[in-house]
Amino acid sequence: MNVKRGVSARSALAAEAADPDGRRRRSQDSRARIVAAMLELVQAGDVAPGAEQVADRAQVGLRTVFRHFKDMDSLYSEMAHAIESEVRDVVRRPFKAEDWRERILELIERRSQTYEKIAPYRQAADAHKHRSPFLAAAHGRLAAESREILKRQLPDEVARDPVKFETLDLLLSYEVWSRFRREQGMNPKRAREVLDAAVRRVLES
């Protein structure tokens, strides 16, 4: 038996028992580092980081990861919270424009900036939402909230027009932005120009 290690472990346990607030802070710090590590890995392009990768990046043991998160789905839920927080910070900001048409065009700029920030996280979430009830629910909440925000900016005659409203909702969605940026290879400036032109045509029709 390693006596020195045994004494050290007992000392650590005694210190934790004597300082529960310190233990809580260390636990909170470990959890925050794990979540940050997960987000960093996803942002770097890994849509499916494993628990070992997360633990290594956070510089904690694998057991620590699963002490805070029962499975990887619960860790992905933290990523979903980060996406929702980022989106809500932008979409709930008061509009500068007074005219409703200008507010819709303002939505293009706002959402395009947000979509660029959350793109790596959305790609990871989309890759896992088919087997994650939490990610699927988070996706539904954001889609519903985005629709409601759009509807509130429109006059009744436009909001009640199913063709115009659904077309605008589609054009302003993350899915269209992702298609422009990834599949069609547009840079952000070009993608905004195309969206702006398309939305103006819908509003003028």
pLDDT in tens, 64-120: 888 888 777 777 777 777 777 777 777 677 888 889 999 999 999 999 988 988 888
Residues in the chain: 205
Give residue 17's pLDDT band: very low, low, confident or very high (50, 70, 90).
low
Is pLDDT at 11 greater than 80 in this prediction?
no
Nearest to 172 by CA among 141, 143, 201, 152: 143
Per-residue pLDDT, averaged over 120-129, amounts to: 80
Give residue 124's pLDDT band: very low, low, confident or very high (50, 70, 90).
confident
Instruction: Average the pLDDT over each of 1-15, 82-96, 115-129, 167-181 and give the range with the smallest value.
Output: 1-15
Is pLDDT at 9 greater than 60 in this prediction?
no
Distance CA 16, CA 23 (A): 6
Q: Is residue 108 a contact partner of residue 153, using CB atoms and an 8 Å limit? A: no
Angle 64-121-39 (CA atoms, 0-180°, nearest 5)?
Answer: 30
Distance CA 72, CA 181 (A): 29
Domain ranges (residues) in the chain: 3-68, 96-204
